[in-house]
A = this chain, B = another copy of it.
Amino acid sequence: MMSQTLAEIGEFGLIRLIRDLIDMEGVNEPRLMMGIGDDSASFLPREGYEILITCDCMVEGRHYLRGHINPLDLGSRAMVMNISDIGAMGGIPVFATVSLGVKKDTPVHYILEMYRGFIRELNPLGAAVIGGNITGSDHSDFMDITLIGEVERGKIIRRSTARPDDIVMVTGFPGQAAAGLSILLNNEDTGELQSNPLVRAYNKPVHRAREGRAAALSGYATSMIDISDGLLGDLGHICEESGVGAEIIREALPVSAYMRAFSGSNGRDHYKWILGESDDYELIITCAPNNTDKVRSAIAEISDVPVTEIGRITSKTNGIEIVFPDGSKHEEVHIGWDHFKK
Cβ-based interface call for A243 (8 A)? no
CB contacts (< 8 Å) of A45 on chain B: these are 45, 49-51
Rounded to whole angstroms, the CA-CA distance of A144 and B56 in the bound complex is 10
**Given contacts A88-B39, A156-B42, A339 and B51 within 8 Å (CB-CB):** no
**Given contacts A16-B339, A339-B16, A85 and B40 within 8 Å (CB-CB):** yes
Interface residues of A in 22-72 (CB under 8 A from B): 33-34, 37-45, 47, 49-57, 59, 61-63
Q: Interface code A145-164, partner B: CB below 8 Å = 1, 0 otherwise?
A: 01011010100101110000
Within the complex, what minimum Cβ distance (angstroms) separates A340 from chain B? 5
Interface residues of A in 124-141 (CB under 8 A from B): 130-133, 135-140
Q: Interface code A1-35, partner B: CB below 8 Å = 1, 0 otherwise?
A: 00000000111110010000000000000000110
**Given contacts A50-B33, A55-B133, A135-B59, A339 and B10 within 8 Å (CB-CB):** yes
CB contacts (< 8 Å) of A38 on chain B: these are 89, 158-160, 241
Q: Interface code A226-267, partner B: CB below 8 Å = 1, 0 otherwise?
A: 100000000000000100000000000000000000000000
A130 x B53 contact (CB < 8 A): yes
Cβ-based interface call for A271 (8 A)? no
- Stretch from A95-103, A176-184, A187-195, A301-309 at the B interface: A95-103
Rounded to whole angstroms, the CA-CA distance of A11 and B9 in the bound complex is 37
CB contacts (< 8 Å) of A53 on chain B: these are 40-43, 95, 97, 130-131, 146, 148
Within the complex, what minimum Cβ distance (angstroms) separates A171 from chain B? 14
Within the complex, what minimum Cβ distance (angstroms) separates A118 from chain B? 14
B33 x A156 contact (CB < 8 A): yes
B42 x A51 contact (CB < 8 A): yes
Cβ-based interface call for A336 (8 A)? yes
Copies in the complex: 2
CB contacts (< 8 Å) of A144 on chain B: these are 55, 57, 99, 144
B34 x A153 contact (CB < 8 A): no
Contact with A138, one of B61, B85, B156, B158 (Cβ below 8 angstroms): B61
CB contacts (< 8 Å) of A44 on chain B: these are 50-51, 153
Cβ-based interface call for A86 (8 A)? yes
Contact with A151, one of B42, B52, B146 (Cβ below 8 angstroms): B42
Q: Please give me the 3 A-B residue pairs with the lowest Cβ-Cβ distance, nearest first.
A: A12-B339, A45-B45, A139-B139
22 intermolecular pairs with C-beta atoms under 8 Å apart:
A10-B339, A11-B339, A12-B340, A34-B158, A37-B241, A39-B88, A39-B89, A40-B85, A40-B149, A45-B45, A45-B50, A51-B148, A53-B146, A55-B132, A56-B133, A57-B99, A57-B133, A59-B101, A62-B137, A62-B138, A99-B144, A99-B146
